[in-house]
Amino acid sequence: MLTVLGAYSWINIRFLLEGAWVTILVSVCSIILSYIFGVILGIIRYVEIKYLSAIVGFVIDIIRNLPLILIIFFTYFGLPNIGFKPDPIWASVIAMAVFESAMVAEIVRAGIVSIPTGQMEGARSTGMSYWQALRYIILPQAIKNMIPAIVSQFISLVKDTSLATIIVLPDLMNHAQIIYGQNTNYTIPMFLALAVMYFIVCYSLSLLSQYLDHRLGTAKKSGEVEEVVQGAER
């Protein structure tokens, strides 16, 4: 009992919270970047721009079939060979963003493909251009369908930040290792603390996904699409 209490001393908890802050920082930066680039790459792959879509698809397939830890290694140890030497935090952000962008791009492409072709045809028949129809009609519907898959991918991203301990990222996992490395009796208590902290972060993302799905679902009332079309035409 004393061992457990000692493991959860204020000094250790504060040290874990400092690591949790780094985990959240890396996760948030990676999520924002991967969402932006993932949406762009997914659209490029969907619209089939000559040569560009094929090249983007080839690169995405390569990245998706590489282990994330290899991309982290390459970012931290490979980029310095071309004159760019990021610290562990930004090396992790770059690696995570690259990997997750490829994953999100496939989710986006699949989400757009899932929208019936009649939606595009109906939008074009009103006089909208292809890109207007994609922006105002297809994407809003596709994004709603993508939310569960994208959030699930981002939850995996949060957990995958622990892989960056291999490049000494001072994250939650790294700080826990330092604590139980000084006292092996703290190993189990530290793993329990890790489980609770990762659960809090990941479950919060799940609740956010449910909230967004509910809000977007209730927002789809009759006449909404027509108003969007009219606004685009204006």
Residue 90 is predicted with a pLDDT of 93
pTM, full prediction? 0.84
DSSP state of 183: -
Q: Where exactly are the structural domains of the chain?
A: 23-171+200-233
The CA distance from 207 to 187, in Å, is 30
pLDDT of residue 220: 55
pLDDT by residue for the chain (234 residues), tens only, comes to 556 677 888 899 999 999 999 999 999 999 999 999 999 999 999 987 888 999 999 999 999 999 999 999 999 999 888 888 889 999 999 999 999 999 999 999 999 998 888 888 888 888 888 888 888 889 888 888 888 889 889 999 999 999 998 898 889 999 999 999 988 888 999 999 999 999 998 998 888 888 877 776 655 544 444 444 444 444
CA distances from 27 to 94, 148, 176, 224 (A): 11, 18, 18, 34
CA-nearest of 37, 32, 30 to 163 is 30
CATH number assigned to the domain covering 23-171+200-233: 1.10.3720.10
